[in-house]
Amino acid sequence: MSKINFSTLCFLILILIFEISGCGGDDDYARGFDDPPVINLEECIAYDFEIDSLVYNELPNIGFNAEVLMDTTAPHDSDGVILFEWQGGLYYHPVNLCHRAFGLISAYRVTGDSVFYDLVRKYADRLMAESMEFDGAVYFPYPFDYHVNQQEEGLLTAPWFSGMAQGEALMVMVRTFLATGDSTYLEHAHKIFGSFSRLHGEADPWTVFIDSRGCYWIEEYPVWEPSMTLNGFIYAIYGLYDYYQLTKSIEAEAVLKASLSTIKNYIPYFRRPGRPSYYGLRFGHYSARYHLIHISQMKHLEKITNDTGFGDWADSLYLDYSG
C-alpha cells in the first residue's frame, strides 16, 4: 500500500470534518449565490501539456469501502445494481453507477474476489444497456427532469445527457476492459469518446462546446447558455486521461489537452478570494463542499500534467477557504 502524504491526509480530514458538520460554520457563507464573474474575451491559450503516465495508485477515483459496496439496504435491482430515488421514482443514475463501479474495480484489483469481478461487469453492462446511440456516439441518459442550481432557466428535461457522466462512463469502460480483458468494453469506450467531438450547434444531443474565446468545454449540465460547471468538467477530464493512456490516440490527446487548457484559462474566474469558489460561472453559485473538491482536483491535474500552476491554484483555493 502506498503511503499517503501529509497534505493529502489533512485534506481527507477536512473532508471528513466537513461532511460531519454539514458544511461547517455559517451555511449562508458556505453556499449560496453571488454575482457571476465578468469574463474577458481574450483568445483562449492552448497549452502543450506533458501528459504523465501515472501508476494506478496515483489515479483519481480509486479506493473502496467493502462494507459500502456490499450494502444491500439501499434500493437496487435484481442484479444488485443501485437505484436512485428521485421525487418518488427509482432510476438508474449514470454518475452514481460510475462511482459505484470505480469502487468495485478497485476492490477487485486489491482482493481478486470474484464477487467484486461479477459486480464490476454488472455495473458496466447496466451502463451499456441504458446508453443511447446517436450517429455512432454513445450517451448515458438521465431519465428524470432536473433544474441546474435550482434555476428555472436551468431546466433539463429527460432524457438529458451530462459531460460529467460521459467522462466517468468512459473511465468505467476503460478500467473494466483492463480488469476483464473483454473487448466489448473497449468498443463501447471508443463510442463514448465519439461524443466528445459532437459540438453544440453541430449535433444533438451535445455535451461539449467551443466558447467565444475558442476554449473547449465539457458541460456537466448542457443548458444554453452553458452553466460552465467546474467539478463535472474535471471529472470528465479524468475519463479522457484514462482513455488516452490506454489508446495513445492523437485525437484523445488533442481533446485532453484542449480540456486542460480551458481549465488553466478559466480557473482564475472560479476563484472568489477569501471565500469558497464558484461551482459554475453562469449562475454564480458557490459551495464550500465543492470548493474542497476543486482543491483536490487541482492537485490531480498537477499530477497528470506536471504543471505546477495547477498546484499553485490548489494552494490559493485552500488559503481562500478550507472548511
Gap between the Cα atoms of 71 and 180, Å rounded: 24
Per-residue pLDDT tens digits for 85-143: 999 999 999 999 999 999 999 999 999 999 999 999 999 999 999 999 999 999 999 99
- Give the cell for residue 246: 490506454
3-state helix, strand, coil in the chain (%, to 5): 55, 10, 35
Q: What are the tens digits of pLDDT across the range 225-270?
A: 999 999 999 999 999 999 999 999 999 999 999 999 999 999 999 9
Give the pLDDT confidence score for residue 153 in this predicted structure. Answer: 76
d(CA 106, CA 123): 13
**pLDDT the model gives residue 13:** 33
Give the least confident one: 10-24, 137-151, 222-236: 10-24
pLDDT of residue 253: 99
Rounded (10°) CA dihedral 265, 268, 269, 272: 170
Report percent pLDDT > 70 for the chain.
Answer: 90
Please state the pTM of the whole predicted model.
0.91
- pLDDT tens for 162-192 read 999 999 999 999 999 999 999 999 999 999 9
Answer whether residue 77 shows pLDDT above 50.
Answer: yes
Q: Which pLDDT score is estimated for 18?
A: 38
What is the widest separation between alpha-carbon atoms in the chain? Answer: 54
Please give the torsion angle defined by the CA atoms of residues 297, 302, 307 and 308, in that order, rounded to the nearest 10 degrees.
Answer: 90
CA 73 to chain centre: 26
List the chain domain ranges: 49-270
The per-residue pLDDT for 11 is: 45
Measured CA to CA, the distance from residue 55 to residue 36 in angstroms comes to 38
The answer, yes or no, to whether residue 5 has pLDDT greater than 60, is no
Q: Is the pLDDT score of 23 beyond 60?
A: no
User: pLDDT > 90: what percent of the chain?
Assistant: 87
Calpha distance 80→76 (Å, rounded): 5
Contact 51, 253 (CB under 8 A): yes
How would you label 52-72 residue by residue, b for 16+ Cβ within 10 Å and e otherwise?
eeeeeeebbbeebeeeebeee
- Within 10 angstroms of residue 153's Cβ, the number of other Cβ atoms is 12
| 94 or 8: which leads in pLDDT | 94
Q: Nearest-CA neighbor of 310 among 323, 321, 300, 320?
A: 300
pLDDT given for residue 27 in this prediction: 53
Task: State whether the Cα torsion 70-73-75-80 is positive or negative.
Answer: positive
Give me the CATH topology for the region 49-270: Glycosyltransferase (1.50.10)
Give the closest residue to 218 by CA, choosing from 193, 237, 246, 244: 237
65 and 103 in contact (C-beta within 8 Å)?
yes
pLDDT, residue 154, reads 79
If you average pLDDT over every residue of the chain, what do you get? Answer: 92
